[in-house]
Structure 1
Amino acid sequence: MGYFLLFPTIFLVFPLVSGLTSSGLVQPNFSASYYAFIDNNGAFLFSRNGTFSATIFNPGAQRSFYLCVIHEESNTIIWSANRDAPITESGTVSLTPKGLTIADQDGQIRWSTPPLKSSVFALLLTDFGNLVLLDRSNASIWESFHYPTDTIVIGQHLPVGASLASAVSDDDLSSRDYRLTITISDAFLQWQGQTYWKLSEDTKAFVNANYAVEYMAMNRTGLYLFGNNESVVIQVILPPSDFRIAKLGTSGKFTVSSYTSTNWLEEFSAPYDDCRIPFICGLIGFCSYDSSSTINYKYPICSCPTGFHIRSQHKSGCLPSDGSYSLPVSCNSTNKGSWSDPSAFSYLWLGNGSGYFSNSFSQPVKYGVNVSFCKNLKLDKFQYFILALQKSNSGFGHF
């Protein structure tokens, strides 16, 4: 549902000649490419306070360009439109009365805004970094704040049901498997649907009320989950700051950082224990710490269990040392036939004391089982299991 944005009635609009940047807003019909605005490193629209820019941006060495909102002073991306569909340097961003579109050099549309309820009168970049499409009555008909990527800023709400998705890398903005998800009870970090952290259990969080959560947001004083009538459900109190971002990083770590002068200051990070992050050491990798270090939780040590070796210098994770063994195919593989035949698998012992990140947040699906039971499992419906057998005094366990 749209709402009205109040701002002065006099707009500073530059002529829409290719290569000339605009302050505040642009109007249809407008188009931009990286080459057309190369003198401004792809930036074609600035917020009126100069804090943010809308930029056709290449974050790395690849020929992948994205429409981004960037915090100018720190050169930090806070939003990207076509994160899963990059264009080349010759691609174009177009604003028409129907909305925004991003197309490659051959005209193939790579991304666009959804169908809108009214025609576009202008594209506005607010002083908070929100890219907004306005109709003739200055009502919002689409906002980038409603379609977050991996970051939120002060003034932005992340409602129940929404999520942040990590990028593959700093150079590749494509969505990875880590998610920050907001529910009516809490904020969760998840990997492929499995929880590895929740805000209410963090040592720096305070649970104020048992109300249903409506959204996550930040302000000058911290990070909050708000309920009805902006009641605080859970809060993380932070030092006062006029600008901060909350970001789900490429490694699966969630951080809140403030920016002053020329420096970022990390104020909050989760989970505190890096070894609780799934895949932090790759496939079958062991994560541990140097017990003699006073800051060991910041520097995890990756290794392989007995009977495994490191995959390669360029790939994390472990492989069986015995070349006659290979790890099962992934669940999205087309080769699914062997999964239903238990005899096709062998089992290697990983050793005592091995843990799995999800065990702290998941209940066993079956009790009173032994190793033989696990070996004879038949995955009729091609389900993917991580089996963690915990032995009890009776000699049986659960998984």
Structure 2
Amino acid sequence: MRVHLCFLLVFSLFQAIQSSAIYIITASRPLVQNQTLVSPSQIFELGFFRPNGSGKQYVGIWYKNMTPSKVVWVANRDKPIGDTDQSATLIVGGDGNLKLLDGQQNTVWSTNVMAKPKYSAAVLSDFGNLVLQDGSANEMWQSFDEPTDTLLPTMKIRVNVKTGMKQHLISWKGEDDPSFGSFVLGGTLETPPQGFVWNGSSPYWRSGQWDKSKFIGIATMSGTYLSGYDLLQSIDQGTSYFSFYNYNNSFFGYIFISSEGSIKFVSWNNGWSTYWEAPAPTNHCDVYGTCGPFGVCDASSSTMCRCLKGFKPRSDQDWNRGNWTGGCHRETELNCQITASAAVSTPVEKDVFWQMKQMKLPDSADYLSSIADEEECQSWCLGNCSCLAFSYVDTIGCMVWSGDLTDIQKFSTAGEVLFIRLAAADTGIPTQTKLIISLSTISVITLFGAGISVWGLSRWRGKFRKMKIPRLLKSVDTANKSEELIAARKEQMNQEDAPELLVYDLDSIILATDKFNTKNKLGQGGFGPVYKGKLNDGKEIAAKRLSSHSGQGIAEFKNEILLISKLQHRNLVRLFGYCTEGEEKILVYEYSPNKSLDAFLFDSKEKAKLSWGTRFRIIQGVARGLLYLHRDSCLRVIHRDLKVSNILLDEKMNPKISDFGLARMFEGTQVLVNTHKVVGTLGYMSPEYAMGGIFSEKSDVYSFGVLMLEIISSKKNTSSDHLGQHLNLLTYAWQLWCEGRGLDLMDEAIADAFSPSEVIRCIELGLLCVQDYAADRPNMSAVVLMLSGQSDLPQPKQPTFTFQCSTTHKVQIQSKEETFLSRNTITITMVEGR
């Protein structure tokens, strides 16, 4: 009998003697067979196990205290230890490697790290990652880099074509056999990338193209960043990786490839449940190429396979027997082929396009990055006879197909619009009324189904209360009608539109921060102080406490809760929850061990730790975060207070944009908003905003330009120190640029090791971003392309308006309403024109 729930594996994880737990493996403290290595919060466990009580032993990792247990990683997949071997150990050897030794002290498995530290130890993290560290706690090896059949939250599956590295998930051979099976789950490096399951070397399942937030070939996949899925690709570096995370770390879950070739998303909610599976057991259309080339699969139709319009089965006999893999072929030769192959005296009609809605697009698309809009995509395809089909997806761009159209599926919901090239005679429309379909009148229908992520958002049952985010107060910026509309839009959001956040008890925050001890204070902003804390479950947090003397109030507090809770990106800080008790208003964030960027950048001793490679990655990360806010998120957001002190750095120096108290949503067609209340930090504020109260996404672009120049130089824009006679950093950078001495802007602390071409490109791009007129500045889509070297840079124009900082003369700019100024930069400047 075929077992469909093969992911619910029953393992004999314990021997007759009760296992004892340890928290570290060293040379002097090996792991023996009656012990397990556990993670700090008792979430994961590593030890010896026998699958389904078989006669073979393996070392693996599984979720602790969850029945039935699920092994998520195996060390010795193809080299089991005999059942009678009771002396096998997992130990750190003399060469610093973690090794599995059998009873005869033969090495069965090893981490094979080349370095030989004086001391090393192995620990298991709460994410299920087995890590080998040296004496300075530097990571030398991790199990996340050698996945088996399971993808855990924060884990990545990668591809690097330059090095040949591939991190795929490979199925078990059987329910009780962890050795390598025949099914492989991984990604491709094409643009846009796709997810695949291969059976050996043959495609078995395909996800469809990635559109920056979801795979469009999965009809029920959520399109918002709350889904928790991320796929990053670098064409220049030849790399691609896919990962997912637990929203607010609030559930246990994993993705794995079964021994039968099914991808399963499994989550814990008082038991393991499969919330999504592909290929779906009841949908044969999910299997790759079921209907062959130029065939369409429709699971809801009585005849599952049919040929595209203008095509017919290659073999009627096979087709009638239900064998559709041979596919279809064209009935009428394309008009462009007739024109190309024969000398004709009379004009031949142009080919036409047949529109198909709600489609899973075919495999093997060619992506045309230079095509700017839908009509241009259609025109390009019509002008190239080899182009057999095209599709323009707003979140991807123009895709065309020149080979066999394979693995097409008709969806009942969601899907994209596909245009098939046909000879004019195949449309069935009278010649005098034939029209080439104009894409300018077509909107791609995007229906967000019950996303995979929604399936996984089951919550902790613990000490914390769970509540929906309260409805927001109307925006305090009521002077302008357009802002009132945005505020009204917020007001109308019902509770189902806002994700759940943990509501923390004040006592738990006080305990975590040691009564807001000054020793735990991380910084002070315009909002109030920020404290490091550690909750009872061991999670480290940053608690941002609204000060009663703050210029910001309840509106900003609620604004930040709404926005950041609905925005999820690797370069945005994550909000865990909040606390509102009595007069206290506290936001609880993920903790960033390296604090904020200014703690390094403007410290004479610390700035040398920021190599040029690190600085460039920070610039790229902030750019991607802003692009997400402006164009790719479920809400379109202008940050309005982007600066170095609002860029936090995690343990790997990855940047995270923070402080959304002043951020504002804007409509898709909205360009400029006028406000009588100017907020933000002078020196980072664009001229049109500081002087006229007009802000747009180009205001953030200006701030980003200032940020780039500060990162390059380690100099503050609002300080004239070390800038000679120049009013600020912008004018100093401009003069160096004009004199051909742009590299002189580089921070002297790292001037001996950097990429001149990257630095020059960043300086030029920074100057482009701080141009006086918003229309002259690039948008963030163009900025990201320019940073990657995929787009040429136009010549920047000379900055005209500058802000001069004076330590003795301070002038406050007041509008009709009060002006909020961040306390991070309290020196207000004079406005001067040149």
TM category (shorter chain) comes to 0.5 to 0.7
Which has more radius of gyration?
2
Contact 2:50 2:57 in 1 (8 A): yes
Measured in 2, the distance between the counterparts of 1:51 and 1:186 equals: 32
What's 1:52 paired with? Answer: 44
Measured in 2, the distance between the counterparts of 1:129 and 1:236 equals: 14
**SS of residue matched to 1:85:** coil
Counterpart of 1:100 (choices 77, 95, 98) is 98
Counterpart of 1:111 (choices 101, 109, 112) is 109
Residues 154/61 of structure 1: CA separation in 2 closer, same or farther (3 Å cut): same
What's 1:133 paired with? Answer: 132
Measured in 2, the distance between the counterparts of 1:142 and 1:236 equals: 21
What's 2:263 paired with? Answer: 254
- Percent of pairs identical after alignment? 24
Q: Does 1:226 align with 2:232?
A: yes
Residues 358/118 of structure 1: CA separation in 2 closer, same or farther (3 Å cut): farther
What's 1:373 paired with? Answer: none
**SS of residue matched to 2:30:** strand
Residues 112/147 of structure 1: CA separation in 2 closer, same or farther (3 Å cut): same
How far residue 116 of structure 1 moved from its aligned partner, in angstroms, is 3.0
Residue type of the partner of 2:21? T
How many residues are aligned here?
261
What's 1:197 paired with? Answer: 205
Measured in 2, the distance between the counterparts of 1:233 and 1:100 equals: 26
Q: Give TM-score scaled by structure 1 length.
A: 0.56
Counterpart of 2:253 (choices 228, 244, 252) is 244
Contact 1:70 1:77 in 2 (8 A): yes
Q: C-alpha deviations, 1:50-89, integer Å up to 9, x for none?
A: 0111111111232111111110122211111001111124
Q: Does 1:188 align with 2:196?
A: yes
Contact 1:220 1:242 in 2 (8 A): no
Contact 2:183 2:197 in 1 (8 A): yes
What's 2:596 paired with? Answer: none
Measured in 2, the distance between the counterparts of 1:72 and 1:146 equals: 22
What's 1:165 paired with? Answer: 170
Q: C-alpha deviations, 1:322-370, integer Å up to 9, x for none?
A: xxxxxxxxxxxxxxxxxxxxxxxxxxx897221449998699xxxxxxx
How far residue 245 of structure 1 moved from its aligned partner, in angstroms, is 0.2
Q: C-alpha deviations, 1:166-224, integer Å up to 9, x for none?
A: 0012211111110001222111111111112222322224689xxxxxxxxxx974433
Contact 2:22 2:37 in 1 (8 A): yes
Residue type of the partner of 1:204? T
What's 1:299 paired with? Answer: none
Residues 322-333 of structure 1 mapped to structure 2, 5 A cutoff? none
How far residue 269 of structure 1 moved from its aligned partner, in angstroms, is 1.4
Residue type of the partner of 2:186? T
Alignment RMSD (CA, Å): 3.9
**SS of residue matched to 1:179:** strand
Contact 1:253 1:277 in 2 (8 A): no
Q: C-alpha deviations, 1:98-126, integer Å up to 9, x for none?
A: 21222333333221111332324211111
Contact 1:244 1:259 in 2 (8 A): yes
What's 1:371 paired with? Answer: none
Residue type of the partner of 1:55? G
Measured in 2, the distance between the counterparts of 1:222 and 1:207 equals: 10
Higher strand fraction (1 or 2): 1
Contact 1:60 1:172 in 2 (8 A): no
Residue type of the partner of 1:251? E
Structure number with higher relative contact order (C-alpha < 8 Å, ≥ 6 residues apart): 1
How far residue 291 of structure 1 moved from its aligned partner, in angstroms, is 9.6
What's 1:87 paired with? Answer: 81
Residue type of the partner of 2:92? L
Residues 32/265 of structure 1: CA separation in 2 closer, same or farther (3 Å cut): same
What's 1:72 paired with? Answer: 64
Structure 1: 5+ residue stretches without partners: 1-18, 38-42, 209-218, 279-288, 293-348, 364-399
**SS of residue matched to 1:145:** helix
Residues 264/356 of structure 1: CA separation in 2 closer, same or farther (3 Å cut): farther
Q: Does 1:353 align with 2:347?
A: no
Measured in 2, the distance between the counterparts of 1:237 and 1:122 equals: 27
Contact 1:195 1:358 in 2 (8 A): no
What's 2:702 paired with? Answer: none
Residue type of the partner of 1:259? W
Measured in 2, the distance between the counterparts of 1:237 and 1:27 equals: 30
Structure 2: 5+ residue stretches without partners: 1-18, 160-165, 210-216, 235-239, 289-298, 303-317, 329-361, 366-834
Measured in 1, the distance between the counterparts of 2:79 and 2:204 equals: 29
How far residue 236 of structure 1 moved from its aligned partner, in angstroms, is 9.5
Residue type of the partner of 2:203? T
Q: Does 1:148 align with 2:153?
A: no
**SS of residue matched to 2:73:** strand
Q: Give TM-score scaled by structure 2 length.
A: 0.28
What's 2:762 paired with? Answer: none
Measured in 1, the distance between the counterparts of 2:144 and 2:245 equals: 23
Measured in 2, the distance between the counterparts of 1:20 and 1:106 equals: 24
**SS of residue matched to 2:231:** strand
Measured in 2, the distance between the counterparts of 1:236 and 1:156 equals: 7
Residues 276/220 of structure 1: CA separation in 2 closer, same or farther (3 Å cut): closer
Residues 291/237 of structure 1: CA separation in 2 closer, same or farther (3 Å cut): farther
Residues 79/238 of structure 1: CA separation in 2 closer, same or farther (3 Å cut): closer
